[in-house]
């Protein structure tokens, strides 16, 4: 990194591929294939529970908004909504139950660390069925 930082601009970088991939750890294969239809159950105070049929790979925030789930309750959340950029944390939803979802990212851990079962809807694509609570 030091060489890159101290190099004169413009910088050219070349990458080499190591053909010996036998010892490289690969991420777990998702349980559900892209495009598989799964159910997302939404629990929200003041509203009846709602079950949404969604496709694996679709963005969770967009899916919730498209299905009339109010993610941004109150003036502060409506005005402070970052539009899905992962900055405001107002789209955080609590995962009550889920199947096939990978652990949340280090970025999410840093942004919403005091809510261990929460996820930022804007940064997550649907990976399987889930029950979520929206505040």
Domains defined for the chain, CATH in brackets: 31-134 (3.10.20.30)
Per residue of the chain (135 residues), give pLDDT as tens. 788 778 888 878 787 877 665 555 555 555 899 999 999 999 999 999 999 999 999 999 999 999 999 999 889 998 998 999 999 999 999 999 999 999 999 999 999 999 999 999 999 999 999 999 998
| pLDDT on residue 3 | 80
In angstroms, the Cα distances linking 132 to 6, 39, 52, 98 are: 47, 11, 11, 8
The neighbour count for residue 134, using CB atoms within 10 Å, is 19
Cβ proximity of 27 and 10 under 8 Å:
no
Quote the radius of gyration of the chain (alpha carbons, Å).
19
User: How far apart are alpha carbons 46 and 25 in whole angstroms?
Assistant: 45
Question: How many Å from the N-terminal Cα to the C-terminal Cα in the chain?
Answer: 42
**Which runs of E-coded beta strand occur in 1-135?**
37-44, 47-55, 92-98, 118-120, 130-134
User: How far apart are alpha carbons 124 and 61 in whole angstroms?
Assistant: 8
The neighbour count for residue 34, using CB atoms within 10 Å, is 12
Helices (H), the chain: 2-6, 60-66, 75-80, 106-111
| pLDDT on residue 23 | 57
């Amino acid at each position: 990194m030091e060489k890159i930082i101290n190099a004169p601009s413009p910088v050219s970088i070349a990458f080499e591929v190591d053909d010996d991939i036998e010892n490289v750890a690969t991420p777990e294969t998702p349980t559900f294939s892209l495009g598989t239809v799964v159910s997302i159950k939404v629990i929200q105070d003041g509203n009846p529970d709602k079950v949404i049929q969604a496709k694996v790979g679709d963005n969770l925030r967009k899916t919730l908004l498209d299905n009339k789930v109010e993610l941004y309750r109150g003036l502060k959340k409506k005005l402070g909504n970052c539009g899905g950029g992962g900055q405001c944390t107002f789209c955080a939803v609590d995962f009550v139950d889920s199947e096939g979802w990978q652990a949340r990212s280090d970025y999410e851990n840093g942004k919403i660390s005091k809510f261990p079962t929460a996820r930022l809807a804007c940064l997550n694509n649907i990976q399987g069925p889930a029950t979520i609570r929206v505040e």
